[in-house]
Amino acid sequence: RSASYTSYSRNGTSIKSRSAHKQERPFEDFSGRMSLSEEVLKQYFEQQKCLLDFFFAHIEYDTLVEFANSCLQCGGTIYFTGVGKSGFISKKVSTMLISIGVKSFFLSPTDALHGDIGILSNEDMLVMFSRSGSTEELIQLCPAARKKGCQIIAVSSERDCKLAAHSDKHIWLPLERELCPFDLAPVTSSTVQLLFGDTLVTALMNAKGLSRDDYAKNHPAGRIGKRLTIDVSHVMIPTEKCPIASEDERLLEVLLKTSAAHCGCVLVCNAEGSLLGVCTDGDIRRALKSFEGEALWKPISALMTVKPRVVPITTSAYHALQAMELTPKVSVLPVVQEENLAGLVTLHDLLKLGL
């Protein structure tokens, strides 16, 4: 069953309509509450996709390249400003730049006109976000910002706008119309602004050669910080506390070590401290099932897993957790430094980190 929908131009006239065998009301009254059908909601998302396709089809990359290089070469701070939803987006882009080590700040246009413009210098850039390019607060700010000597960049969805005339450079973000039925609410233009800002940030990350370690330094807390900053060396059980057995020890002797350690395995090493294998609780249960009482007198070398999965001591805790999830899944990982055993990391300890 196909439904119909209509798109509108900026003056409100219909520009596209698709007929249907059976029309469906966008809103249905269900148990006294307003509701949307799946089919109608899907149409909204499809129309939004078409509007975003328009942006990608008409974007002018030469001005974007010039702006990106200006950001890289900026010797001062990159200030962002905007009013309303454009202000929210500009603040978000500014904080993203800060997170990758670029000096940036959000400047309220109202506060700037009442003293905060004093922070601007001739080494700075002032990036103004406005869908229409005619936001009065931003236009009032331009002459004062120009007196401070900073570079003014206008970002709007109107080619010939007042803000472009008052700026040093203008970046046009193509916009066919808003998804809003009145073409008023910035439900598409704000998405376009966010796409522009976040893609710019990603490009600058690569251009700056930002490493994973550099990024981690700016995100010490939360899941991102934990995944990037915590190594297995921080959470592993050190060698002196690990249950270690020689290859000729019998299972009966090893059982006492595994019970006391509470880590689910015993590590088998030679006299030089090199790891030879791992014998887990599961290996022991399978041996007892297969050999019954005779298993107690077998050497641990006959029951252990030879060449077990290991991780270097420099491995991040998050990557160790991912290694445990590989097939076959394991709940313990020996940690090695060069060829020698350095410790043991367990699934339980990694999960407690909240990675």
Residue 30 has pLDDT above 90, yes or no: no
| Model pLDDT for residues 113-163, shown as the tens digit of each residue | 999 999 999 999 999 999 999 999 999 999 999 999 999 999 999 999 999
3-state secondary structure of 148: coil
Tell me the C-alpha distance between 75 and 333, whole Å: 48
> Can you read off the two tokens belonging to residue 3?
């439904």
Residue 192 has pLDDT above 60, yes or no: yes
Tell me the C-alpha distance between 49 and 44, whole Å: 9
Residue 1 has pLDDT above 50, yes or no: no
- pLDDT (0 to 100) of residue 293: 84
| Model pLDDT for residues 194-220, shown as the tens digit of each residue | 999 999 999 999 999 998 888 888 888
Token look-up 């010039």 returns 66
> Can you read off the two tokens belonging to residue 165?
């005339």
| Model pLDDT for residues 43-83, shown as the tens digit of each residue | 999 999 999 999 999 999 999 999 999 999 999 999 999 99
- pLDDT (0 to 100) of residue 283: 87
CA dist 332 to 149, 236, 281, 345, Å?
61, 10, 11, 6
Residue pair 79/127 in contact by the 8 Å Cβ criterion: yes
Compute the average pLDDT of residues 258-267.
82
Residue pair 141/109 in contact by the 8 Å Cβ criterion: yes
Quickly count helices (H) and strands (E) in the chain.
14, 17
Mean per-residue pLDDT over the chain, rounded:
88
118 CB burial (10 A radius; 0-12, 13-18, 19+): exposed
- Give the largest CA-CA distance in the chain: 91
- pLDDT (0 to 100) of residue 24: 42
| Model pLDDT for residues 300-335, shown as the tens digit of each residue | 888 898 989 999 999 999 999 999 999 888 899 999
DSSP H or E stretch at residue 312: strand 311-312
Compute the average pLDDT of residues 186-193.
97
CA atoms within 13 A of residue 343's CA, in its CB half-sphere: 15
Compute the average pLDDT of residues 237-248.
90
- pLDDT (0 to 100) of residue 227: 84
Label residue 33 by pLDDT band (50, 70, 90).
Answer: low
3-state secondary structure of 155: strand
Q: What angle do CA 266, 267, 271 make, to 5 degrees?
A: 135
Q: What length does the chain have?
A: 355
